[in-house]
Chains A and B, each alone.
Chain A
């Protein structure tokens, strides 16, 4: 298995019209384009597009994508609704978090907390908060330490129910 980048990165623009309806469109740039160059190009083409449109652009994004060309099978019995919830402290005194789907049972304690002494959890903590880490919260404040971690169950949706039910 190996993650392969797509041939092109994607610039996505969200337009909002007078009624509040939104539409999103995409333009591509070569994958090897530096982010700064791509954003400069995005600014130029956004201005040109705005001259052709009665809507306004309210958001834009630049996405570099990678896909596994031969992904391994998921472990039997795994369910994305069973989450590992990780909540982190940030430098500005707030918290941020993410969930890991189908958290392994082997990293849980009997109470449903995530075992912070587990080597895999320590490794994640190191990736997110260790020297040179660049992870932050949505407001841009650096993540500084793990605050809470526990098992959580999300409600199933139509898309997550078994196909053979």
Chain B
């Protein structure tokens, strides 16, 4: 919601656990209409969010810092379209140990890496524009503070 000075604020409301997207969207539409009528702001966006948390919170299994990420660049079904996925705290033992990319490039033949990329390609994943992921193009380590 934006006011006349372009300052932004939002309204957070919760819906019943297990509600379908259709029910959530329906509630979202009527709720947007109701609060829009009560506010002098313009409503510019709305979001329907399903959130889950681990309880109890598990401990991290290793010492790699969150900023050390594995970056995976996938090509998508349309020409020149891509999806980028990064995985925090990337395991250092999954990086190549020899050749010009040693310590930087991710070992794409590793069984754990293959398991991840296979799911990315064969499941329902897409890029932010809705274009399906089709192939891994590049994978490397990057520090993302």
Chain A residues with CB under 8 Å of chain B are 3, 6-8, 10, 15-19, 21-23, 25, 27-31, 33-35, 37-39, 41, 44-45, 48-49, 51-68, 71-81, 84, 96, 98-104, 107, 120-121, 123-124, 127-128, 133-138, 140, 142, 159-163
Contacts and interface: CB of A to CB of B under 8 A. Distances in A.
A147 to B, nearest CB: 15
Interface in B54-93: 54, 57-67, 69-70, 83, 85-91
B66 to A, nearest CB: 4
Interface residues of B, number: 88
Contacts of A21: 65-67
A56 B88 CA distance: 9
Contact of A8 (B62, B86, B129): B129
Contact of A74 (B3, B27, B31, B129): B3
Given A18-B63, A63-B48, A127-B34, 20 more contacts: A6-B128, A17-B89, A23-B69, A27-B85, A38-B124, A45-B116, A52-B70, A53-B91, A54-B63, A54-B89, A56-B61, A66-B47, A74-B41, A79-B3, A80-B41, A96-B14, A98-B11, A100-B39, A101-B39, A120-B34
Given A73-B4, A79-B5, A134-B23, A54 B61 contact: yes
B102 interface: no
Contacts of B31: 127-128, 135
B58 A56 contact: yes
A88 B70 CA distance: 45
Nearest to B127: A28
B98 interface: no
A22 B48 CA distance: 23
Interface string B3-23: 111111111111111011101
A48 B116 contact: yes
